[in-house]
Structure 1
Amino acid sequence: MTAVRSERERSDASALGTGSDPEALLDIRNLSMRFHVGRGFLGMGARMTVNAVSDVNLTVRRGETLGLVGESGCGKTTLGRCILRAYKPTSGELRYRREDGAVVDLATLGTRQLRPYRRQIRTVFQDPNSSLNPRMTLLQIVGEPLLANDLARGDELRERVAEGLRLVGLRPEYMRRYPHAFSGGERQRIGIARALITGPRLVVADEAVSALDVSVRSQILNLLDDLQEQLGLTYVFVSHDLSVIQHLCSRVAVMYLGRIVEEATTDDLFERPRHPYTETLLRALPLPDPRLRGSRKRIPLRGEVPDPASPPAGCTFHPRCPYAQERCDTEEPALLPLRSRRTARCHYADTLDLEGVVAD
């Protein structure tokens, strides 16, 4: 009787109904991730709290590619790891829609309860050199998730690994080789095959092309695009490179110091940014036409990224913002809804005339 009641309580705690947006695969609500670290020599001093992710609200819809962009240290990778449940969020919800339509809060699940969702939410790592075990063959690397999730063994496993390699443009006879026999682009294809081998619905790609040569990046981006259309995948693509985001993503969320400061469709964000930080990122993009390089005004950011353990009062971007006014020093802006289903965390998002870039 106790076991039955315990199972029912776990089911009630995880099934949260059908949710409000039928197209939402993942609904992130008020998500925060805090780390407690020591200060001083060897971390032995007084402890401090680092707010890596603060009160993030995002919706990832089925079949789309959502880009998370920002400079190093903005919290985008931490948010991606929370989605994967590599980190257990300090607070907030990760409302994941199952195939039967029920919604589960992944943030509250324990290790055993998370196991069925590990094969549905997968990741592609940044560095293909360090993410592949040099002592394992492709058969072992790509087939490991099948063994870990009890999905296939023996001949069936080999057949599925061969199909996974074909899917990413590699020959099945390569499965007996080791990672050192492949180029950087081929290694990343191996990492993609490993991520897709369990048939996931959501893939988190963390800087998936930043470690690759420029000549190879477009091949991997096109492969990810083709696989999304072929398999019906949903992507969360983490990157600091806006040119990559523009190529692959349908919607973009810009992060600064652990918060979402702007969210919009890719076309809207590039044509007319609504937050000064977004404008600064866009102005850093190189112009392919040399005749246009003198036509764009550059406004360099002042100062450095603030300490996330001691963020500035008011708007966290105001010490570096060229448009900051007195109100920005003391009053924290909310993430305000704007027209065209976009949001911006700026007091003057409706009045500033910010400069975008022309779409390719």
Structure 2
Amino acid sequence: MTTTMDSPLLRVEDLQVHFPGRRGSGGLVRAVDGVGLEIHHGETLGLVGESGCGKSTLGRAIVRAYRPTAGQLHYRRADGGEVDLAGLGERALRPYRQEIRMIFQDPFSSLNPRMTLRDIIGEPLKVNRVARGRALQERVAELLTTVGLRPEHMSRYPHAFSGGQRQRVAIARALALHPRLVIADEAVSALDVSVRAQILNLLARLQADLDLTTLFISHDLSVVRQLCDRVAVMYLGRVVEVAPTEELFARPRHPYTEALLSAVPATHPSRRGGRDRIVLEGDLPDPSDPPPGCPFHTRCPYAVPRCSTERPAAVEVAPGRTAACHFADELHLRGAGQAA
């Protein structure tokens, strides 16, 4: 894992993605509600949180599968210039769609069963007029080799491959246009444990060999700890904590992060069974009707009256670390593997 902390490759600023609420409700679902985030060249940034917190919506907004309601996506081009992807129309977005690619969660549904591997992986090359004919076939063969598959199988269809092999095909397709930023949305969650480890090793190798920058979206903090340089924690459409991975696991600065880490299995046998899992009361609030004040105060064991009226800003609590909690400097929260 490597990271450079110069000008970020992508700077997300006050990003909002809202959807219409249920018919007749008149409200808005605030799936992403003012996210600020930086992704630096060469790093793998983990994005974690409960289902429904807005992780996948944020990923899809970055690749512009969703048009942001408000906010900016400041992307640093290869020439050093900067462009706000959030405000671009489809024609202007076209070159950036080659540079920012997505790997989806389910390899069984993300690949067209009526297309061969040659067509699946080669489609981005043809659509963007990058290669055709023999050059296209050679590039597909190269990509298959890169992800650990045999080039002579490019005439086969997805049903002939296992789940792990299909995810390798999906990764090859995402790499076809030499992207600078890859969004991996729960890319290993549908795989068996042994296959998951193989794909994680592949992603780590590709990140190093191809100088990739990756946003790795996952609900599994054990996986994030293995792969990511930094971690951003998301709750109810907002990022509540960002920190280098090992610092976050050792000493969380937000109560929600502490609760998530309490569910991570201890890596050393002597520490297993020595701590209690923090069970949050209640469900994730409705994103169409978020609570006032701190979004987490309705479930936070440390909440005081101030938390229900005043929304905390994300502030720097240590070099390279931010947290959106009024008491981030005062609370002594448990890290992963620490007893209560």
Q: TM-score range by the shorter chain?
A: over 0.9
Whole-angstrom CA distance in 2 between matches of 1:326 and 1:219? 48
Indicate which of 16, 31, 36 corresponds to 2:15.
31
Aligned position for 2:298: 319
Q: CA deviation at 1:285?
A: 1.1
State the match for 1:227 in structure 2: 206
- AA of the residue aligned to 1:280: A
Percent of aligned positions with the same letter in both sequences?
63
Inter-partner Cα distance in structure 1 for 2:136 and 2:234: 40
Paired residue total: 334
Which residue of the other structure, out of 34, 42, 62, is the alignment partner of 2:41?
Answer: 62
Deviations along 1:54-73, one digit per CA (max 9) or x if unpaired, are 11111110000011100000
Q: Tell me which residue corresponds to 2:240.
A: 261
TM-score normalised to the size of structure 2?
0.96
Q: Deviations over 1:303-349 (max 9, x none)?
A: 11111111111111111111111111111111111112201111100
In the aligned structure 1, how far is the partner of 2:256 from the partner of 2:48? 11
1:256-286 CA distance string (max 9 Å, x none): 0000100000011000000000000000112
State the one-letter code of the partner of 2:216: F
Alpha-carbon distance between aligned partners in 1 of 2:205 and 2:36, rounded to the nearest angstrom: 29
Cα RMSD (Å)? 1.2
Structure 1: which amino acid aligns with 2:16? S
User: How far apart, CA to CA, are the structure 2 residues paired with 1:37 and 1:314?
Assistant: 22
Find the aligned partners of 2:219 and 2:18 in 1 and give their Cα distance.
22
Query: Is it true that 1:357 corresponds to 2:303 in the alignment?
Result: no
- Structure 2 CA distance for aligned equivalents of residues 311 and 46 of structure 1: 15
Larger Rg: 1
SS of match in other structure, 2:249: helix
Unaligned runs of 5+ in 1: 1-20
* CA distance in structure 2 between the aligned counterparts of 1:348 and 1:69, rounded to whole angstroms: 21
Which residue in 2 is equivalent to 1:309? 288
Gaps of 5+ in 2: none
Distance 1:81 1:237 in 2: 12
Deviations 1:35-81 (A, max 9, x none): 1123xxxx3x2321111111111111000001110000000100000
Relative to total residues, which structure has the larger helix share, 1 or 2?
Answer: 1
Conservation of the 8 A alpha-carbon contact between 2:263 and 2:278: no
Deviates more, 1:29-38 or 1:176-185: 29-38
**For residues 53 and 347 of structure 1, what CA distance do their matches in structure 2 show?**
21
| Partner SS for 1:113 | helix
SS of residue in 1 equivalent to 2:214: strand
TM-score, structure 1 as length reference: 0.91
Quote the Cα distance in structure 2 between the aligned partners of 1:270 and 1:124.
26
Please name the residue that 1:15 is paired with.
Answer: none
- From 184, 189, 197, give the equivalent of 1:210: 189
